[in-house]
Amino acid sequence: MTLSETHEFAPRITVSGTMENNGAAMVGASLAAEIASCFGPRNETQLSIVAHVGDAVAGGLNVSLHWGWCYIRHLWVQAAWRRRGLGHRLLAEAETQARARGCAGLYVDTFDAGAASFYERAGFQMFGRIDDFPPGHARFFLQKTLTKE
């Protein structure tokens, strides 16, 4: 008898402080399989773009490419290198890599209004915002559609 064949079965619900248990892995894998059956596989690729000054890291950007889009997971520039064009150079390289891989665009989220303005100056458009997340602040969602060159 399967779970869907009985109405007398009451699932037991558990809570764990970690996602490293068999149930959590099964939930993640099951959702991934269901999404892939509807939308195709993610074909995810991770890239890191790092700027060096000598042996030191001056800044960098980590992206995930999936379903034809480039998600900017992290963009960080050392304080001494900010406002000197390095962030824009890193974004430009991410855009170059996204284009080379056939991506339709890039997207990012940030908690920093200044960072949101930085992305807007780089051609991104805001498409969403959650106020008071984290408390007293906002979370911004931005995207940039790539045109064919």
Per-residue pLDDT tens digits for 33-65: 999 999 988 889 999 999 999 999 999 999 999
Residue 126 has pLDDT above 80, yes or no: yes
Q: Please check whether residue 64 is in contact with residue 73, taking contact to mean a CB–CB distance below 8 angstroms.
A: yes
**Helix (H/G/I), strand (E/B), else coil: 94:** helix
The pLDDT of residue 4? 59
- Position 97, amino acid: Q
The pLDDT of residue 7? 63
Average pLDDT over residues 87-116: 97
> What domains are defined for the chain?
3-39 (no CATH), 45-145 (3.40.630.30)
* Residue 112: partners with Cβ closer than 8 Å, 6 or more residues away: none
